[in-house]
Amino acid sequence: MSRKKIIAGNWKMNTTVEEAAALAKDVAAVVGSVSDVDVAVCPPYVNLMAVAEAIKGSNVKLGAQDVHWEAKGAFTGKVSCAMLKSIGVTYVIIGHSEQRQYFGETNETVNKKTKAALAASLLPIVCVGETLDERNGGKMDAVIDAQVRGGFEGISAADAAKCVVAYEPVWAIGTGVTATSAQANEAHIFIRKILTELFGKETADTIRIQYGGSMKPDNAKELLSMSDVDGGLIGGAALKASDFAGIVQPK
């Protein structure tokens, strides 16, 4: 089964509008004509429009870092799917571990956001992953199982096929510690097994599973060569166009 790789840059809470536009231009210059890999950048909300302009005409797609599930109304501080769609957003990261850790994201809110995104024709990047304590305590499988089943509850196979899953072990995010390619692949195979139970083999085999957590140009090639690693969700290394390019097209 060959799945087209997908590399997405998660810029997190970095870049002013000028910095975002400049970085997006640089990214478009180095990987804007790549067509054998799907490439996306996910800047902060306030920079989405500037980045949309900067990547116009390139193959780089726009992603957001979060979304609210309600359509509109009295939800101060929140942004809806329709708002994102209206400015050209394609992907939306949902359930990032920082959202889970600091901002009360649960498997239930991940599920609501994923359903809302799909209904609005946004493509969800659903994040899952265990903490170091959970891994060391032997709870890794149970945690990931609950995150995948909870996040995808009530979603049809046809809709699930539009989603990307990002496996991001929390202990590897921003720490410089990367999961070994074997550890990453083992987790991805486990996630695909759950997806197979939920949606059947045909669908599960088409869903792309990204690895995230200190992915860099010098470890990307090995990680991306694994059977079930279908791309990367890149934090730190996405903030420099040349590093990002080195992951999109690793040497």
Residues at the interface with ligand PGA (CB under 6 A): 10, 168, 173-174, 212-215, 233-237
Question: Toward ligand PGA, which CB reaches closer, 31 or 199?
Answer: 31
Q: Report whether 244 contacts 215 (CB < 8 A).
A: no
> Annotated catalytic residue: which of 98, 105, 134, 168?
168
> Annotated catalytic residue: which of 68, 96, 98, 105?
96
Question: Toward ligand PGA, which CB reaches closer, 97 or 185?
Answer: 97
Active site residue 96: yes
Q: Please report how close the Cβ of residue 173 comes to ligand PGA at its closest, in angstroms.
A: 4
Question: Toward ligand PGA, which CB reaches closer, 195 or 220?
Answer: 220
Question: Toward ligand PGA, which CB reaches closer, 60 or 199?
Answer: 60
Question: Toward ligand PGA, which CB reaches closer, 33 or 175?
Answer: 175
Q: Please report how close the Cβ of residue 154 comes to ligand PGA at its closest, in angstroms.
A: 26
Q: Please report how close the Cβ of residue 201 comes to ligand PGA at its closest, in angstroms.
A: 28
Q: Please report how close the Cβ of residue 218 comes to ligand PGA at its closest, in angstroms.
A: 13
If 0-12 CB within 10 Å is exposed, 13-18 middle and 19+ buried, where does residue 46 land? exposed
Residue whose C-beta lies closest to ligand PGA: 235
Q: Please report how close the Cβ of residue 109 comes to ligand PGA at its closest, in angstroms.
A: 18
Active site residue 53: no
**HEC secondary structure over the chain:** CCCCEEEEEECCCCCCHHHHHHHHHHHHHHHCCCCCEEEEEECCHHHHHHHHHHHCCCCCEEEECCCCCCCCCCCCCCCCHHHHHHCCCCEEEECCHHHHHHCCCCHHHHHHHHHHHHHCCCEEEEEECCCHHHHHCCCHHHHHHHHHHHHCCCCCHHHHCCCEEEECCHHHCCCCCCCCHHHHHHHHHHHHHHHHHHHCHHHHCCCEEEEECCCCHHHHHHHHCCCCCCEEEECHHHHCHHHHHHHHCCC
Q: Which residues are catalytic?
A: 96, 168
